[in-house]
Structure 1
Amino acid sequence: MEKIKMKLKSLVLEFHVNDNQTISLVNFSTNDKVNTIGSENPNIQNRKFNIQQPVEMKLSGINSPAETHGPKYSFSAPGYRLTYLGHKIIDNEMGQKLIITQMDSATGVYVTTVYQTYANLDIVRVWSTIENKGDSSVGLEYVSSFSYIGIDQGGLNTAEEKLRLHLPHNAWQKELDWQEYRLSQLGMSNSQASLRRSSNLIQINNTGNWSTKHFLPIGILENLELEHSYFWQIENNGSWTWEIGDQDGQLYLRTSGPSEQESSFWKEIQPGESFTTVKAAVGCTNGGADEAIQELVKYRRRIRRKNSDNQVLPVIFNDYMNSLFGDPTTEKEIPMIDKAAEAGCEYYCIDCGWYSDGYWWDTVGEWREAVGRFPNGLKELTDYVTSKGMVPGLWLEIEVIGINSPLFKKLPTSWFFQRHGKPVFDRSRVQLDFRNKEVRDYCTGVVERLINEYGIGYIKMDYNIDAGIGTDLNADSAGEGLLEHNRAYLRWLDDIFLKHPDLVIENCSSGGLRMDYAMLSRYSIQSTSDQEDFRNYATIACNAASGVNSEQAAMWSYPLTEAKPEEVIFNMNNALLSRIHQSGHLAKLSQKNFDLVKEGITVYRNIRPDIKQSLPFWPLGFASYEDEWLCYGEKIEGTQKIYLTVWRRYANAKVLNIPLDFLLGKEITVSQIYPVDADAYSSTAEWNKLNGLLMVELPERLCSRTFKIEY
């Protein structure tokens, strides 16, 4: 038996090449012992099928003789009969790349799977390429990006006792809503004494262009007994699926992009053609949810496009939220530009409405300035922004055309998503198809014109529709059309950044409804929400780094005109440890409240070199929308420094004890860094090193403070 073994920081990756020339992924965990699945059960031990196949693949018209029970992707056909051809390990600048090749002799289909490791990280990036070397076409219904059976292995307790699944629910204005589950709460109770093979599974998926409209494409499975956690992140800006199910006495994890059963994807692969899956990052590390997210944060920094925006972290002002709300004019903008510059903002973005004198929603598409809004032209305004020392920006929704745009009736229908010979409509818009070169050229022309005519250096790239399962125009299926469109859009983005490497483009989809790392490996900044209530926004602010790195997480701070000082502070603290997206009617604030905004931006500009190398942690766990106390911290790599934001959200108790176990027994100093005037805006922070608790007292029921801890 040949063994292939790779040891990461804590993660062990081990394969066995079996006597029948199949290959098994026998260990993917922090335990250096081989996963001997079902060794105590002769019914499993004597099975003739390889239950540890590292790739599941389903082609049309092929039978699987094994028992799968329902919709699970177990013993897929011809996945179950793939045979091992060879492997190689290549050193590269990121770490090592393990490449495994398998084939199905009956169809002539070859499967090449890549496991890319990263130095000093417990994570691998996985994908497979399917190549048809046979004589006939094959129909692809499903192929996994990653597959491993044995995620419940080790320890004495049952899966129900020791495993906790952390799921990031996501929705418009309610992003990043993490919940923790026992497996039984999701229908995965174990009712079999030894076999554990049911028709049920935990399946989380997305269909459509809004990749995160229900869930983020990530998950964490924490093992309380072994004190380690599995975690995963699917990197696709469209449809995706992951599932946890039971098979032959064990639990498995499988991730994939689109599939026929879940998202109307089917692709015919002709002889000589190939198909590559979406990428997935999967890891297992010692610790719980915090440690899992910290590994993801470091990984995201490795795969991200190199750019100055994520190094400098400039402050952005945007005129939309609790401010102009899509009604910009020269008269309204000038005083806000003045105050944004005075407050210390470095970018100024004019949001939606600048291209339409009337109702701006369904007229998008031409991206020409509205003369009625800017009597002397929009350039007068962008030049004024520049004269104030800021970089001008504009809102775009480049992927759609409104049905009342003059362009809509002029353009051929081949520019749009279609199903059954008809354009696909959503909310009075149609979806442009980026597989079409004419579409890409038009969109490139728009971006080039805005840069050249108005001198913009920032684009808020919004996306406010969801075109459903995709387009069947020039595609084998609607899901295949969607996937190829999404990939074409990413290539278009790559070309834009190649031509304009210093251009900052914000990823926005009605807030955080496309918060995935296919997009965020290109975009440097992500809108986190359209949440209009700063009190609810605290939950999103607290949890943001779980889904998008702090240096990429655009967080609104929008003090209301009649706000109390403590409300301004609360608002500013929402953004202080991420990326400040300043808004609100700054010109209408009292001087006292404006000074608090300016002070907060000054503090941020002092600490932002630390934010770009921070590792997040949650002393109270992920925040919920019902919590009365919230707490979020950032450890700064390479230092003995921590930043901690605490929110009191109508709690009756004034005091919160915050566990900081990793500082147990250490001497620390705690200082309030925002608001700066600790006498006028008091708080108390006392450290008990013997029990590792930081006692924080905040004076009002709605109140927030940010501290620096040094040790």
Structure 2
Amino acid sequence: MTAPFVDWVTTGFTARFRIGPEQPVSLVSFVSAGGTPSDGTAEPQPLVELTTVGHGRFPGGFRHVDSTVGARLRYVAHEATGATDATDGSGVPDGTDASAAVVVTGPGIRIVQADAATGLQTVSVFRAHDGVPAFRTWTEVRAERGEHVVDSVSSFASGAWLTDSGVDVDDLSLTHAANDWAAESRWRTDPLRAIGLARIDREAQHHPPRSRAVVQNRGSWSTGEALPIGVLTGPGYALVWEVEHNGPWLYELGETRSAAYLLLSGPTDQEHQWTAVVTPSAPFTSVPVSVGIAGSIDQAFGVLTAQRRASRKLRAADAAMPLVFNDYMNTLMGDPTTEKLLPLIDAAADAGADLFCIDAGWYAEGHWWDTVGAWEPAASRFPGGLGEVVDHIRSRGMQAGLWLEPEVIGIHSPLAASLPDSAFVQHHGVRVAEHGRHVLDLRSPDARAHLDAVVDRLVGTFGVTFFKMDDNTMTGPWAGAVDGGRALLDWLDDVQHRYPALLIENCASGAMRADQAMLSRLHVQSTSDQQDPVLSASIAAAAPAAMLPEQAGNWAYPAPEMSDELFTLSLVNGVLGRMYLSGHLPRMSAEQRAVVGSAIAAHRQVLEVVDTVLPVWPLGLPGWEDPWVALGLRTASGDLYLSVWSLPGTSRTVALPLDPGPAPGRVVVEPLFPTAVAPWTVSWDGVAGVLHVDNGGATPTARVFRVRIEGADTGR
């Protein structure tokens, strides 16, 4: 008897699940709306992989597939959520042809499986948004009996991408990004055969290959080593995914006897020293992941952008998108005083900033790194009180913000002794100490009460409406790698519920915790701590691959001593996205301040549409040392805001392939910033669909253009 299928049909895609009495459930096909799902391979990858202490893998190895529990799981039921279902969630109806697909329509589906040997049960939860060819999914693990130490569980596993793409592993490549302090978003594309998937004779070996390609991150900095994002590409095919967790995670690619697989997961014991105990009264829910389907790299990130927007917890306050001036980068560098701040505040107001954020150091009487935690203003820095400075910010028509690193207590802070051990992250029963700090565990009522009191005091006393929330201390492995991170998210949700006008920037030594779990509920993301504007260029250009363009807080820190072209480049870095302005504005000449004003004016044009645009990269995702870099933001009307950087080592010219849309019309290329394009020259080749750019011999240099199509209905 041919195994039946359940087809989950949404307005964005169709997903086909294979269901049979002698095999675990598997996702065998995932195609865009209007596509025809395939039946998959003879030996599909199980949808859920689960190992416990005592129930590992067969055959053994380092891979997280081939789990004995996963192989024993059997279909119990499926349930449509917010949808209609031909079977009412009870399985295949009587009289139905076993080879026919049961159709589920709507935004969600839950698939229940059970392992008779252990009494473990899994529920695969899928959610979709209208019109988006992507789903969000996770795995719930329950126990009917006994106690089980889970040491790995997949949030998603499938080999559907191989059969849907119609190509072999030899033809597929992985696009992924390394991440590091001041060196974020270093994208590269590697053939799967070049990064771990060895080609062997499967028939001669009588076993599947044991090799795997793994991308992972360890510790509490969720993006401290790599981004939790990948794109698998073949000819005309792209599968994109993102692990949405503010802690450790991994994704894994490998081959089976007859096909291949992708597995997405939160922490594991093997890689992250993590386990969870599951009992009948204590289930476990894995971290959520998003998976989408497209035809190219740019389209894949367009899908991911749409998925992020649909999943984000937007508040009314987020709609304002204020232009922030922050006193830190290449300016006060953590040494604010009333005397230094007042001229900066006036200059920021004159430039047109909407919000002034006082960065690190406002609480410090002296050396402060390992004594922080109380977050009280330093009297020596503000003779008239911090309130005097905040009042001056407001008097100049701006909102006031403060830098805050709420999750840490310095090892020499009085709070380190007054708070109980249970308030802190511990490993093997010992309080973790890293970089001179302890880290608060937000599962603790004492830790949460302390942070609530800090926020209540700063918002209530000073009326701040913006926190730059930093996190400069990375913990190693600890038992709370999942539920501790969820406690932090719960605390953030509660703070913003209590203070609906409060905006929070997500920062962790730049972008060391730039994951979608945090970004789904916070206002803006620091993209880097990089102080060199030339090195910042590729970070700013790549940022919309890791986050929404409207959340990409790109530093723009012009300096009076810079050359004219470098001054301009430092501002170009901030125009597409969310400009995060800094720099010694009071020391600048009138001409330099006018350039800053022109950049802000250009940025405000982008701000009008930035929450609706889709990112494109005409030269491909920027590599860390690419000489020419380009980022485009495509509007719903078809216009393109385009930043182009010419960095050291470039040739004088470059050709940028641009898609002007399907409708004929005259392509107009206008300088947006600076308004005079010279010494650059640009020309449009309508036949080839290419924009030719000449930098005039200047480097490093950058420009922002607006590419419009006149006299055409683009249909976008």
Please, what TM-score do these two structures have when normalized by structure 2? Answer: 0.92
- Whether contact under 8 Å (1:349, 1:395) holds in the other structure is yes
Match of 1:159 among 169, 174, 178: 169
- Which residue type is aligned with residue 609 of structure 2? D
Structure 1 position 3 matched with structure 2 position 5 = yes
Matches for 1:7-22 after TM superposition, within 5 Å: 7-8=9-10, 11-20=13-22, 22=24
| Equivalent residue number for residue 149 of structure 2 | 139
Select between 505-514 and 96-105 the one with higher mean Cα deviation. Answer: 96-105
Deviation of residue 662 (structure 1)? 4.8
Match of 1:273 among 276, 279, 282: 282
Separation of aligned partners in 2, 1:95 and 1:346: 42
Match of 1:412 among 395, 417, 420: 420
Pick closer, same or farther for the CA change 1:37–1:444 going to 2, 3 Å: same
| Equivalent residue number for residue 48 of structure 1 | none
Separation of aligned partners in 2, 1:192 and 1:667: 55
- Whether contact under 8 Å (2:45, 2:260) holds in the other structure is no
For 2:570, what is the secondary structure of its paired residue?
helix
Separation of aligned partners in 2, 1:662 and 1:184: 35
Match of 2:28 among 26, 29, 36: 26
Match of 1:83 among 53, 74, 77: 74
| Equivalent residue number for residue 134 of structure 2 | 123
For 1:425, what is the secondary structure of its paired residue?
coil
| Equivalent residue number for residue 109 of structure 1 | 120
Match of 1:462 among 470, 481, 490: 470
| Equivalent residue number for residue 475 of structure 1 | none
Sequence identity percentage = 35
Deviation of residue 207 (structure 1)? 1.8
Pick closer, same or farther for the CA change 1:36–1:416 going to 2, 3 Å: closer
Pick closer, same or farther for the CA change 1:249–1:2 going to 2, 3 Å: closer
Structure 1 position 53 matched with structure 2 position 55 = no
| Equivalent residue number for residue 41 of structure 1 | none
Match of 2:301 among 293, 296, 308: 293
Separation of aligned partners in 2, 1:276 and 1:411: 30
Separation of aligned partners in 1, 2:409 and 2:439: 7
Separation of aligned partners in 1, 2:337 and 2:252: 49
Separation of aligned partners in 1, 2:660 and 2:672: 22
Match of 2:244 among 231, 235, 238: 235
Separation of aligned partners in 2, 1:131 and 1:358: 52
- Which residue type is aligned with residue 609 of structure 1? E
Match of 2:211 among 197, 200, 215: 200
5+ residue gaps in structure 2?
85-104, 710-716
Separation of aligned partners in 1, 2:649 and 2:26: 53
Separation of aligned partners in 1, 2:700 and 2:287: 44
5+ residue gaps in structure 1?
39-43, 45-50, 471-477
Separation of aligned partners in 2, 1:334 and 1:156: 63
Pick closer, same or farther for the CA change 1:305–1:92 going to 2, 3 Å: farther
Separation of aligned partners in 2, 1:332 and 1:697: 41
- Whether contact under 8 Å (1:235, 1:279) holds in the other structure is yes
| Equivalent residue number for residue 495 of structure 1 | 494
- Whether contact under 8 Å (1:312, 1:609) holds in the other structure is no
Separation of aligned partners in 1, 2:155 and 2:650: 48
Structure 1 position 399 matched with structure 2 position 392 = no
Select between 663-672 and 698-707 the one with higher mean Cα deviation. Answer: 663-672
Deviation of residue 682 (structure 1)? 4.3
Structure 1 position 705 matched with structure 2 position 713 = no
Separation of aligned partners in 2, 1:335 and 1:154: 61
Deviation of residue 112 (structure 1)? 1.2
| Equivalent residue number for residue 350 of structure 1 | 358
- Whether contact under 8 Å (2:124, 2:140) holds in the other structure is yes
Taking only aligned residues, the RMSD between alpha carbons, in angstroms, comes to 1.9
Pick closer, same or farther for the CA change 1:266–1:334 going to 2, 3 Å: same
Deviation of residue 193 (structure 1)? 5.8
Matches for 1:550-569 after TM superposition, within 5 Å: 550-569=549-568
Select between 530-539 and 19-28 the one with higher mean Cα deviation. Answer: 19-28
Deviation of residue 34 (structure 1)? 2.0
Pick closer, same or farther for the CA change 1:604–1:63 going to 2, 3 Å: closer
Separation of aligned partners in 1, 2:24 and 2:64: 18
| Equivalent residue number for residue 367 of structure 1 | 375
Separation of aligned partners in 1, 2:199 and 2:594: 59
Separation of aligned partners in 2, 1:26 and 1:582: 48
- Which residue type is aligned with residue 6 of structure 1? W
- Which residue type is aligned with residue 56 of structure 1? E
- Whether contact under 8 Å (1:11, 1:283) holds in the other structure is no
| Equivalent residue number for residue 474 of structure 1 | none
| Equivalent residue number for residue 171 of structure 1 | 180
Separation of aligned partners in 2, 1:150 and 1:280: 16
- Whether contact under 8 Å (2:654, 2:694) holds in the other structure is yes
| Equivalent residue number for residue 102 of structure 2 | none
- Which residue type is aligned with residue 577 of structure 1? L
- Whether contact under 8 Å (1:656, 1:695) holds in the other structure is yes
- Which residue type is aligned with residue 516 of structure 1? D
- Whether contact under 8 Å (2:27, 2:160) holds in the other structure is no
Deviation of residue 311 (structure 1)? 2.6
Separation of aligned partners in 2, 1:21 and 1:86: 14
- Which residue type is aligned with residue 688 of structure 1? D
For 1:14, what is the secondary structure of its paired residue?
strand
- Whether contact under 8 Å (1:663, 1:692) holds in the other structure is no
- Whether contact under 8 Å (1:630, 1:646) holds in the other structure is yes
Separation of aligned partners in 2, 1:334 and 1:573: 27
Structure 1 position 444 matched with structure 2 position 452 = yes
Deviation of residue 272 (structure 1)? 2.6
Match of 2:314 among 306, 327, 330: 306
User: Per-residue CA shift, 1:267-290, capped at 9, x if unaligned?
Assistant: 2222232111110001222x2111
Deviation of residue 99 (structure 1)? 0.8
- Whether contact under 8 Å (1:461, 1:506) holds in the other structure is yes
Pick closer, same or farther for the CA change 1:197–1:444 going to 2, 3 Å: same
Matches for 1:514-663 after TM superposition, within 5 Å: 514-637=513-636, 639-651=637-649, 653-663=651-661
- Whether contact under 8 Å (2:31, 2:164) holds in the other structure is no
User: Per-residue CA shift, 1:29-73, capped at 9, x if unaligned?
Assistant: 4562424425xxxxx6xxxxxx43211111221365x43x51112
- Whether contact under 8 Å (1:108, 1:133) holds in the other structure is yes
For 1:439, what is the secondary structure of its paired residue?
helix
Separation of aligned partners in 1, 2:554 and 2:654: 25
For 1:230, what is the secondary structure of its paired residue?
strand
Match of 1:689 among 686, 689, 710: 686
| Equivalent residue number for residue 473 of structure 1 | none
Separation of aligned partners in 1, 2:383 and 2:518: 37
- Which residue type is aligned with residue 272 of structure 2? S
| Equivalent residue number for residue 393 of structure 2 | 385
| Equivalent residue number for residue 100 of structure 2 | none
For 2:481, what is the secondary structure of its paired residue?
helix
Deviation of residue 8 (structure 1)? 4.3
Pick closer, same or farther for the CA change 1:193–1:75 going to 2, 3 Å: closer
- Whether contact under 8 Å (1:341, 1:390) holds in the other structure is yes
Deviation of residue 309 (structure 1)? 5.0
Separation of aligned partners in 2, 1:570 and 1:523: 28
Separation of aligned partners in 2, 1:290 and 1:104: 41
- Whether contact under 8 Å (1:190, 1:196) holds in the other structure is no
- Whether contact under 8 Å (1:347, 1:390) holds in the other structure is yes
- Whether contact under 8 Å (2:30, 2:164) holds in the other structure is no
| Equivalent residue number for residue 429 of structure 2 | 421
User: Per-residue CA shift, 1:400-419, capped at 9, x if unaligned?
Assistant: 00122222222222221222
User: Per-residue CA shift, 1:210-261, capped at 9, x if unaligned?
Assistant: 000110111000112xx11111100110011110011112110011111111
Separation of aligned partners in 2, 1:147 and 1:20: 19
| Equivalent residue number for residue 41 of structure 2 | 37
Pick closer, same or farther for the CA change 1:588–1:37 going to 2, 3 Å: same
- Whether contact under 8 Å (2:660, 2:667) holds in the other structure is no
- Which residue type is aligned with residue 704 of structure 2? T
Select between 406-415 and 392-401 the one with higher mean Cα deviation. Answer: 406-415
Deviation of residue 666 (structure 1)? 4.5
